[in-house]
Amino acid sequence: MSGAETLRLEYLTPSESPSEGWPDVLGAAAFDGGARAPPGGGTDFPLIHVHTPVLAGSREVLEVWRAGPRARTESHGRVRYAASGEFLFGSLAVSETEVTAEREPRARTALAVATELAYRQMYATLAAAGEPHLVRVWNYIPEINRETHGLERYRQFNTARHDASVSCARAVTGSVPAASALGAAAASPVTIYFLASRQAPAFIENPRQVSAYRYPLEYGPRSPAFSRATVLGEGEAATLFISGTASIVGHQTLHAGDPAAQTREALVNIQALLEQAARTRRTALSLESLAYKVYVRDPLELPLIRAELEAAMGAKTSLLYLRADICRRDLAVEIEAVGGHGSRPAR
């Protein structure tokens, strides 16, 4: 059975308990205060708490991934993961305070140590599971834009991710997963969750943008190692995972200081990815058919951003809004999306 036939995303509040229970949940991420186990029993699946507040609606939201009956739920090192058929969902969190004492003599920040540890653990889990293909990674980094030790923390993260990937013989260009890297609350752990598949994904780039892994040195000593999108399957059986997408053309930010224009530009970039996926993988997805997670730097700008999205896609599109700092200080909004699955709007 193909990924599009079995993998399904829902946004739920913790109080929502499906009548059928939770036997087919592969894994979940809880935003804001929603990390407590949802009611209904049968919650033996990876559940990670992400310290980013929910905007517009419920204060707590669960991002739930379903993929049929789980074959197993296990731990490998710090990673809690579950597998079902061809899919694997895993998650882990590493606090910078707990790794400070483990730092090596060479100059490495606590964030670099935590990130490298987290990525090594993720890769080791995939190897133990038969090395399924990494499809999508979500990264949440406390105080992502703060500068320490002469380097912005996002750039420290990119360097550590690169070093861990190289040391584990994983690609850092080309065949790299879709990904996002957003800010999280100060003092929260480096938090990562991921989806993998025994089916190799296709990797999609945006012709309007320089590939992130080809960014020039002005964006840091190591480029971000992610594809603009990945696709599992083809045609009607495809599932599309769009990375965090913003108002960037080439490699430069456009419309700094104008959140509405940035939102429109981000949607143009998402449309370009839809067209690339249609051309290379015969998908037939529209902006309206996707489920979105929208990261907003300043909550006061949410009405402008929300108005642009609803004008482009209608009020019934699945949209989850989160408050988070974004990888560039001049970006007001970042949007990620998933398509080719069943979804429920965020409450």
What residues act catalytically? 334
Q: Which DSSP symbol is given to 177?
A: -
Which residue bears the tokens 């456009």? 254
Exposure b/e, 30-49, CB count within 10 A at least 16 = b: bbbebbeebeeeeeebbbbb
Angle at the Cα of 216 (from 214 to 220), degrees rounded to 5?
105
Which residue bears the tokens 């143009």? 268
Q: How many residues are present in the chain? A: 347
Tokens of 318: 């699945």
For 338, the enclosing helix (H) or strand (E) is strand 333-339
CA nearest neighbour of 328 among 237, 239, 248, 230? 248
Say whether 41 sits in a helix, a strand or coil: coil
- How many C-beta atoms surround the C-beta of residue 208 within 10 A? 16
Say whether 86 sits in a helix, a strand or coil: coil
Q: Tell me the C-alpha distance between 229 and 338, whole Å.
A: 10
| Dihedrals phi, psi of 226, to nearest 5 degrees | -150, 155
Contact indicator for 268, 248 with CB cutoff of 8 Å: no
Angle at the Cα of 193 (from 168 to 25), degrees rounded to 5?
125
Largest CA distance in the chain: 55
Q: Which DSSP symbol is given to 17?
A: -
Please give the single-letter amino acid code of residue 336.
Answer: E
For 62, the enclosing helix (H) or strand (E) is strand 60-66
